[in-house]
Amino acid sequence: MKTVTVSAPGKVILAGEHAVVYGYSAIVAAIDKRMKVTVKESKKVQEYSGLVRFALELMGEDKRGWDIKIDSQIPIGSGLGSSAALATALVWAIKPAAKIEEKDKLIKEIEDFAHGKSSGVDQTIVREGGFLRFRQGKFKKITLPISRAILIDSGRPAETTGEMVGLVARGNRERQMKQIGEIVNKWTVDKISLNEKLLEQIGVVGGKAKSMIRAVEAMGGQAKICGAGGVRTGSGMILAYAQNEDKLRQLIKDKNWPHMEVKFGGKGARYEG
């Protein structure tokens, strides 16, 4: 029986998360960390849980036996698009003959299951790779003057993306959303701090992440959360940027913060081998 392997990249939202749910633009980059999914039909029907189970049921493939191997460099639930990468890789691997529109529709339903109402930005960057400006389901490939970044881990959020989107919806945040939209339209790395201030105002950044970000700012850098965020515990990965990278690295070392370095502009989803 044929084995199919698909790899899909993680992503970092450089600007515009949450506002993108309200129809404003976001800019987003694929990263060089990937999720690899290998599937093979098997005689035995296995029990899966969570996203994989939902995806198999949705595709009408849950009564058939599948060996599914997941190999990931993308941390789970930290704002780096692990669910979009997994949904994409699974659908592409199990439905290789389906048209791209059909695959996209299935992935959107899986993303909605994992996230609540999703804007579609994650699955679009996972499919396309590179850098995109995304708005209301439409996107444009762009280039940006930033090729890599240091991500500091403020801890996995206790909330799901869906809960964070719901929390924002309960506030009256139109002014901040509009301002975030303006940042995206004229984005430069200097706008990272302002974007973060607005994310704090809409209430998606927790205390631990805020104090880490203040420390980066105190040494002359800029930082923001880069996903849905979280307030009860961690807020996911923090995108940190400083002209003086050595100083930023020293701070991270002194504080003993978990972190990872990523390159931007990774390739989109693809069949391997």
Catalytic residues: 122
According to CB under 6 A, which one of 72, 88, 118, 124 is a site residue for ligand PMV? 118
Residues in the chain: 273
Instruction: Closer to ligand PMV by CB, 93 or 239: give it.
Output: 239
Smallest gap, in angstroms, from Cβ of residue 119 to ligand PMV?
3
Smallest gap, in angstroms, from Cβ of residue 122 to ligand PMV?
5
Smallest gap, in angstroms, from Cβ of residue 202 to ligand PMV?
10
Residues 69-98 close enough to bind ligand PMV by CB under 6 A? 79, 81
Q: Give the contacts of 163 (CB within 8 A, at least 6 positions apart).
A: 116
SS3 273: coil
Q: Is 228 in the site for ligand PMV (CB under 6 A)?
A: yes
In this structure, how many other beta carbons lie within 10 angstroms of the beta carbon of residue 2? 7
Q: Is 21 in the site for ligand PMV (CB under 6 A)?
A: yes
Residues 188-227 close enough to bind ligand PMV by CB under 6 A? 227
In this structure, how many other beta carbons lie within 10 angstroms of the beta carbon of residue 256? 7
Dihedral, 52, 54, 55, 58 alpha carbons, nearest 10 = 160
Report which DSSP code applies to 230: B
Report which DSSP code applies to 145: S
Q: Is 121 in the site for ligand PMV (CB under 6 A)?
A: yes
According to CB under 6 A, which one of 122, 159, 196, 200 is a site residue for ligand PMV? 122
Is residue 175 classed exposed, middle or buried when 0-12, 13-18 and 19+ CB atoms within 10 A define those classes? exposed
According to CB under 6 A, which one of 17, 153, 196, 200 is a site residue for ligand PMV? 17
Summarize as ranges the residues that interact with ligand PMV (CB under 6 A): 17-18, 20-21, 79, 81, 115, 118-119, 121-122, 161, 165, 227-228
